[in-house]
Structure 1
Amino acid sequence: MSTSVVCEANGVGGRMSWGERWGFVRGDKRQIQTAVLGGADSEEPLMLLLEAIELDAFRRRHEHDTFRCGLLLGGCGLPLMTKLYTDRVCHFAHHPGPDGHPHLCGRRARGVNSADHLYVKSAAAAWLHGRGEQARFDFAQPDGAPIGSVVDIQLRRGGPRVHLNQAVMPEWDADSEPVLGMSVPVDRDVLIRRWYVHRIRLDSESTARRVRIGTEAFARPTEWFGLDECEMTERGLSTSAVERIIRARSTPPSSRWPAGKAKKVPDAQARAQALLRRLAGARRFESVVAVKRICDDIAALAGTNQRTQAQLAAALDDANH
């Protein structure tokens, strides 16, 4: 049976128990990698560095800080200490109970991603503030889902719902725009119908987690961006990949026919219906350039019957108002 040297720091009021509890411990499986700074209901997350060589500096930096098993992490709210190991990862741990037995905590999520919802809120709030926007945040728990499964970002008009795991199924026809964590599947038909979806991942950087936004489309690799490279538009969260996808879907594809081989040209009626569908798609995504181009194509179209001409005229009138 393996053992390891462990020393503890209580993280409460700066009272460090260096040397007070040196000894050998048997396997401690309560590997809590995240905590909050301050009170039990704090929203300031902290991730513990995993290597012993890093933990010494971590303890010095947070000598006067209090670590807690935060309520918003699904924890008990009680103080945590840090444990330093030489043969396995370092982690937070609860103080023993008054009887000396281990403290029993019902917290389920304990890994490095267990505070990701707090990191998402912090990053999104700072990003929106830098753009003159304010939002309300909610860690909703529909149908008893674990806290941290979703983060609702409520803007003046709609806003994203971030799904960090599979506990809550995305609602594609709701007012909120689903943003999917890496483990959340998306149906092929959804990708085709919506043109694209957004994903989110968090990368560990020292004691923090950095938010990255990905744009995924059918038959395209997911492209990743920092939050400062994203924008919030009338149609929702947007990246440069979104703009390229919209342009590609709003522009007729180049000819794939080899030189010298004639391609059958669709009749005016079929072309009119295709233009109407493209116009509806471009207006849905509020692509002004695409709408203007399609309107010009409609205006130049000839050879349709009276009923189709009326449809085209109504679509042009609606697009210009």
Structure 2
Amino acid sequence: MHGADGFSCGVLLGGCGKLLTLRACDDKKSHFAHRPPVRCTRTARDESSADHLYIGEALVRWLRRQGRPNITVEYVRQKHARSDAIEIRFGPKKKRRLLHVQMARRSFTEWEEDRRRLGATPGRPSTIRMYGPGSELAPYELQVAGYALRFRCETQNGTREVFVGTHLPGHKIEWTILERCRLHDQGLLTPALEPTSEGIRLKGAAKPERSAAEAPASSAEKAEEPAKGTTATAPGQRQAAPTSGPDGPTHSGGHPGPVSAPRTRRLRMPAATALRRAPRRRQRRCRPSPPTSPAASRPPASSCR
């Protein structure tokens, strides 16, 4: 960044903010350098060191096209530099919404703490969580939400183009551009996502199955239930239709008879239960038979009964 009388080390790039001096060289490219003595904390100097600035700028342009007012951007320093995370807030004062992009790596414990801290209170819009190319935290979000939103940047025509990816199960990522995404009350929708009553989910994903207690009885089960006032019959057996007579209801033979009690199906006992209830067989006991002669050297034979 630069002021009225000089240039200083960019703090948004992880720099120290101290004044720089221009060094004109004949044997190499002219460049800016720190004035000694100074110790700068900036470690990354490649083309990806400013990706958080490109991502933040692209999101601001996209939110303006979505018609969102009062957009503010903050580059948060968590441990190393102000490029660790991006927090973009937008919307009216009473319904401010947060879009959080995690750029730096975090442990699982820190990720859970961020999730609790960034979680919306009841009655407030939910926080949109996204992940930069070097965070390596998208698999955690995938386990919780079923998908994760990621960013990556590519150098095209002298600038860094921003792409949005939908992290799917099976280590698959579908990449697109921000112009093909839209903002919904439930979150950010890419071409691979759709809003439902249960929240945002992948297109074509199966709905959550009902439990056995909540599932309604099937038509086959309803067909097997006997009607009210009728008796159950055994399979393959027809039920005699009663006819009216002078002395009351009669059966198929034409003579009156008592109404039989409802028949009940005979339950088959499980094999394991039948084995347990079977009577135990008497074990035969063997007794040694007396020896035929006192001088017998062989062991006596045994007789069983």
Indicate the structure whose relative CO is greater, using CA pairs within 8 Å and at least 6 residues apart. Answer: 1
The corresponding residue for 2:90 is 155
What's the TM-score, normalizing by structure 1?
0.50
Aligned equivalents of 2:133 and 2:180: distance in 1? Answer: 20
The corresponding residue for 1:182 is 133
The corresponding residue for 2:3 is 39
- The CA deviation at 1:167 is 4.8
* Aligned counterparts, 1:234-273, within 5 A: 234-243=185-194, 246-251=202-207, 270=212, 272=214
- 1:211 paired to 2:162: yes
Does the 8 A contact of 1:149 with 1:165 survive in 2?
Answer: yes
* Aligned counterparts, 1:4-23, within 5 A: none
Tell me, which stretches of 5 or more residues in structure 2 are unaligned?
Answer: 121-126, 196-200, 223-305
Greater share of helix:
1
Deviations along 1:169-216, whole A, 9 cap, x unmatched? 433452333211222223756423311000111212344322111100
* Aligned counterparts, 1:297-308, within 5 A: none
Does the 8 A contact of 2:147 with 2:202 survive in 1?
Answer: no
- 1:107 paired to 2:42: yes
Q: Match for 1:125: what amino acid? A: V
Tell me, which stretches of 5 or more residues in structure 1 are unaligned?
Answer: 1-35, 41-65, 253-265, 274-297, 305-321
Aligned residues: 198
SS for the counterpart of 1:138 is strand
The equivalent position to 1:227 in structure 2, one of 178, 185, 191, is: 178
- The CA deviation at 1:272 is 3.3
Aligned equivalents of 2:159 and 2:42: distance in 1? Answer: 21
Q: Match for 1:94: what amino acid? A: A
The corresponding residue for 1:78 is 19
The corresponding residue for 2:74 is 138
SS for the counterpart of 2:179 is helix
Q: Match for 1:141: what amino acid? A: R
What's the TM-score, normalizing by structure 2?
0.52
Q: Match for 2:102: what amino acid? A: H
Q: Match for 1:198: what amino acid? A: L
Pair member with larger Rg: 2
Aligned equivalents of 2:151 and 2:64: distance in 1? Answer: 20
The corresponding residue for 1:93 is 32
Over the aligned positions, Cα root-mean-square deviation in angstroms equals 3.9
Aligned equivalents of 2:115 and 2:60: distance in 1? Answer: 24
Aligned equivalents of 1:85 and 1:132: distance in 2? Answer: 51
The corresponding residue for 1:261 is none
Does the 8 A contact of 1:150 with 1:163 survive in 2?
Answer: yes
SS for the counterpart of 2:205 is helix
SS for the counterpart of 1:151 is strand
Aligned equivalents of 2:30 and 2:68: distance in 1? Answer: 37
